[in-house]
Amino acid sequence: MQSIVPAPDALIGQRFDVAVAKMMGESRTRARDYIDTQQVRLVARSYDRATILQAGDLVEFDIAPVQEQQEPVAQDMAIVFEDDDIVVVDKPVGVAAHASVGWTGPTVLGSLLDRGVHITEYGAPGRQGIVSRLDVGTSGLMLVCKSELAYKEMRRQFSEHEVKKTYHALVQGNLEQDHATIDAPIGRDSVRDFRFTITPAGKEAITHWDVLERFGEATLVAVGLETGRTHQIRVHMSSIGHPLVGDPMYGANPQLGQRLGLDRQWLHAMRLEFRHPRTRVWTTVDSTYPPDLSHALAVIRA
């Protein structure tokens, strides 16, 4: 699997082995092996594991596949927008953005390729065309790039927070305010794996929310993100005492989630607004609630 990727802005100034590990979602040891065997290399300049990434660096991946295995396909994943440059899918819950270590379920990228959708080669191996992701347990709109032009431009728009992403979330309890902003840095939890938390050492994270509907024991909100940190909405809403319904990892009451028939957090990427990478036309794509979230709302309204 061969591709050339511009060094991500967020990794400029980091060691080459650290950057490769983050780009590939692999361990640092595995990243070093790739560098030592020249399966990952810097283009047009000398390097070693400790080389510091600079702006303008190109990282070339030439990874030999370990084995070929059939990935399950998300047959129910709808395509809601597509042209020669981009494709926007309505990702179902239980589908990952791309393949990763330990994941054996369907992915957005694999399911698109299975349908014959052309995806640009730009991007890290196994993540080509992907400039923004959704968690496995979050449903909704996700954009993938089909052309090189789109990858470069949409990567820039996402990194500079020009893309407007609107989520709907059902949070536990009755929010006091009708709208507010949470500005608190987010980083990895030092105690629990796969969990994130508010910490002074974390990265900037800004979340805006507006109340849509109140149910007393829960509140439906529209959420806008200025940043795109992992688990950002889940962490921020939990930090003010209103975790997402169905999200016991961040403090939700599991009994409420069970009563509403949920086996995941009530969170859906509802709207995506961006400037089209080629035409420059402001583009808006909308989604609708999937059956499990619609059912939960019907139950709590009743």
Instruction: Identify whether 292 is a catalytic site residue.
Output: no
- Given the residues 114, 135, 189, 210, select the one marked as catalytic: 135
- What number of other Cβ atoms are within 10 A of residue 263's Cβ? 11
**Residue 41 backbone phi and psi in degrees, to 5:** -150, 160
The three-state (H, E, C) secondary structure of 171-204, written as one string = EECCCCCCEEEEECCEEECCCCCCCEEECCCCEC
Q: What is the Cβ-side half-sphere exposure of residue 284, based on CA atoms within 13 angstroms? A: 4
Integer Cα distance of 92 and 76 in angstroms: 7
- Closest alpha carbon to 221 in 203, 200, 236: 236
Which helix (H) or strand (E) covers residue 1, if one does? none
Distance of CA 226 to the CA centre of its chain: 14
Helix (H/G/I), strand (E/B), else coil: 157:
helix
- Closest alpha carbon to 12 in 76, 74, 70, 57: 57
Hey, which residues are catalytic here?
135
